[in-house]
Amino acid sequence: MNQTQTKKNLWLKDHGRSVTSQGGEDGILEKVLEVIGDTDRWCVEFGSWDGEHLSNTYNLINNKNYSAVLIEGSPSRYKDLVKNFRGNSNVRTVNRFVGFEPSDCLCNILKETEIPRNFDLLSIDIDGNDYHVWDAAREYQPKVVIIEFNGTIPKCVEFVQPRDMAVTQGTSLLSMIKLAKSKGYELVTVETSNAIFVDKQYFDLFNIDDNSIETQWTDQSAITHIFIGYDGSIFLRGFCRLPWQGIALRESMVQVLPRWARKTFKRRNFLMRKLAKFYRCRLKD
């Protein structure tokens, strides 16, 4: 693909601008909604924190006169959320954790509000079960969805964390794209660790010829690559950190075989067969 074609497929990135968003999403979402045109000026975000910190909806609410349903589960953060939007009659704040069971799914929460079924924007960022809560939201069809994925997972890998609110591992972008397609959405751009999808009925308006993961995900700097030498040594390259914990990864941490056993044997002797069996059993445990 030549540079002209690439630029055409990535044109939304030129509109990146942050008011409170993490990596330019505010400007891109403005442009996406402008292209769609037929909007109702309603948005939903959870977890909202205080409604401002790294928010994908704050700009729309404060500068574009959007109505909103802002959902936050933490009682302390919810107090700040209420404080920040006190006096704004267009904002409905909800102190709930959004889950994927009938009792706590997004649809049941939204039914308590007057928001339309195909409202403009849904922003999902809950550091883990994002995939499952979107999968469970089947009665509403927002025009645009921005959702967090785990940017440390390579583009070729399918990974969905367990359907468990106590687990915070995240989902790969590839798996998120497959979920989106099953729900009737197409990818239009990727920023930082957020994927932006539009209802497929609007996709042609964006004149994007190639919305594949290979084309749209241009920043994979958070990925740690792991590979194995012929002698059994394990090597790390790339980011080599636990990004949320701030801990560096070292090759010494991930070796399965001790240094003296890292050799290539064209003919495995009795001792090496025993050694291999020992480590296979240890890994199973």
Q: Which residues pair with 196 in a beta bridge?
A: 146, 189
Q: What is the pLDDT of residue 271?
A: 65
Residue 94 or residue 278, greater confidence: 94
Round the CA-based radius of gyration of the chain to a whole number and report it.
Answer: 23
Instruction: Identify the structural domains of the chain with CATH numbers, from first to last.
Output: 3-216 (3.40.50.150), 224-284 (no CATH)
Count of other CB atoms within 10 angstroms of residue 221: 8
Work out the angle at residue 230's Cα, subtended by the Cα atoms of residues 232 and 241, and round it to the nearest 5 degrees.
55
For 243, the token pair is 């990004």
pLDDT at 203 over 90: yes
Q: What is the pLDDT of residue 261?
A: 81
- For residues 147 and 2, give the distance between their C-alpha atoms in angstroms, rounded to a whole number: 29
Residue that is written with structure tokens 């914990």 in the block? 245
Distance in Å from the first CA to the final CA of the chain: 47
pLDDT at 268 over 60: no
Tell me whether residue 260 is exposed, middle or buried, using C-beta atoms within 10 angstroms of its C-beta: 0 to 12, 13 to 18, 19 or more.
exposed
Count of other CB atoms within 10 angstroms of residue 263: 12
Question: b or e along 222-231 (b: 16 or more beta carbons within 10 Å of the residue's beta carbon)?
Answer: ebeeeeeeee
For 238, the token pair is 């790339």
Q: What is the per-residue pLDDT across 126-139, written as a single tens digit (0 to 9) for each?
A: 889 999 999 999 99
Residue 37 or residue 271, greater confidence: 37
Q: What is the per-residue pLDDT across 204-232, written as a single tens digit (0 to 9) for each?
A: 999 999 999 999 999 989 999 999 998 88
